Amino acid sequence: MTVMAKFSTLTHRALELYRKVFPIPCLLCGLATERDPLCQACIADLAYLGPACPRCALPLQTGQICGQCLRAPPPQHLSFSLFRYQGGIRRCITGFKFHQQLAFAHLFANLMSEQLQHREKLPDYLIPVPLHAMRLRRRGFNQSLEVARQLGKLLNIDCRPDLLRRIKATRAQSDLKFRQRKANLRGAFQCSSTKLPEHIALLDDVMTSGHTSAEAAKTLLNQGAKCVEVWTIARAIRHY
Ligand SMILES: [Zn+2]
Ligand SMILES: [Zn+2]
């Protein structure tokens, strides 16, 4: 176990103990909660994604490949997302990302693993989508790495944040028009390994246009991975 992982386990234990003595209010409804940052009722009430296109995670009742992916498939072979990015889940992810409410990393990883653990084949590596060093310094932590670390433990997959770097300080995708977004990300990532295993899952917080994860997936495929999946906490559903 690395020093960071040990530290993370210790912090988690301390947090659990603290919660027992001083229960804190559920972020969404205010009821006291012992373990998670949300109460059980709010967890059950979140906007789970449901049936979706297996390639891009766009909600689709039939669960088949969507028209967009048939016309122009993304580089990743599969996409999995836990929630729709709306309502309460937006508040949770904002709290997690910008207010460092780290208990969410455990909650999201637990919920993701419940849905993924029955898969016949799981990836060999789990790689969190990296932040550029400048953004990482500003924010203090990478939310995707926190979830990937927990999820890797639960699913028994190696979490390898060391393999992918963000080498371009891209502008926030939300500041750009749809057409500019792809160009903004071109060449944004660099993979430090030439011996990647065949099957890798990338982990990101939110999939919006999908350009970030697509660029990261492309980088891994160019370096020899055969099958790349994109796992996200939430999928933003927008019409461009
Ligand atoms: Zn609640
Ligand atoms: Zn699709």
Assign residue 176 the CATH number of its domain.
Answer: 3.40.50
The Cα–Cα gap between 141 and 138 comes to 8
- Residue 118 within any structural domain of the chain: yes
What pLDDT score does 161 carry? 96
pTM: 0.87
The Cα–Cα gap between 67 and 72 comes to 9
- Residue 139 within any structural domain of the chain: yes
**Ligand 1 centroid from CA 81, angstroms:** 22
Is pLDDT above 50 for 150? yes
The Cα–Cα gap between 191 and 140 comes to 22
- In terms of Cβ atoms closer than 10 Å to its own Cβ (0-12, 13-18, 19+), residue 4 is exposed
Which domain, by its residues, includes 73? 48-235
Is pLDDT above 50 for 240? no
If one compares 100 and 47, the residue with the highest pLDDT of the two is 47
**Ligand 1 centroid from CA 205, angstroms:** 22
β 24-25/32-33 pair status: antiparallel
Residue 126 DSSP code: E
Task: Label residue 104 by pLDDT band (50, 70, 90).
Answer: very high
The residue-averaged pLDDT of 157-176 equals 84
What pLDDT score does 141 carry? 87
- Residue 126 within any structural domain of the chain: yes
> Which residues lie closer than 8 Å to 90 by C-beta, 6 or more apart?
234
- Residue 43 within any structural domain of the chain: no
Query: What pLDDT, in 10s, does the model give residues 7-40?
Result: 777 777 776 777 667 777 899 999 988 778 999 9
Share of the chain above pLDDT 90, in %: 64
- Residue 85 within any structural domain of the chain: yes
- Residue 61 within any structural domain of the chain: yes
Q: Are 160 and 225 in contact (CB under 8 A)?
A: no
SS3 40: helix
Mean pLDDT of the chain: 89
What pLDDT score does 139 carry? 84
143-155 helix and 3-21 helix, angle to the nearest 10 degrees: 90
**Ligand 2 centroid from CA 189, angstroms:** 23
The Cα–Cα gap between 69 and 54 comes to 10
Task: Label residue 107 by pLDDT band (50, 70, 90).
Answer: very high
Q: Work out how many domains the chain is built from and give that number.
A: 1
**Ligand with minimal distance to 72 CA:** 2
**Ligand 1 centroid from CA 44, angstroms:** 9
- Residue 13 within any structural domain of the chain: no
Range of lowest pLDDT (40-54, 135-149, 159-173): 159-173
Is pLDDT above 70 for 122? yes
The Cα–Cα gap between 195 and 192 comes to 9
- Residue 14 within any structural domain of the chain: no
Query: What pLDDT, in 10s, does the model give residues 73-94?
Result: 999 999 999 999 999 999 999 9
Nearest of 180, 179, 189 to residue 215 by alpha carbon: 189
What pLDDT score does 49 carry? 95
**Ligand with minimal distance to 27 CA:** 1
**Ligand with minimal distance to 88 CA:** 1
The residue-averaged pLDDT of 216-233 equals 97
The Cα–Cα gap between 5 and 26 comes to 26
What pLDDT score does 135 carry? 87
The Cα–Cα gap between 91 and 83 comes to 13
The Cα–Cα gap between 35 and 20 comes to 8
**Ligand with minimal distance to 76 CA:** 2
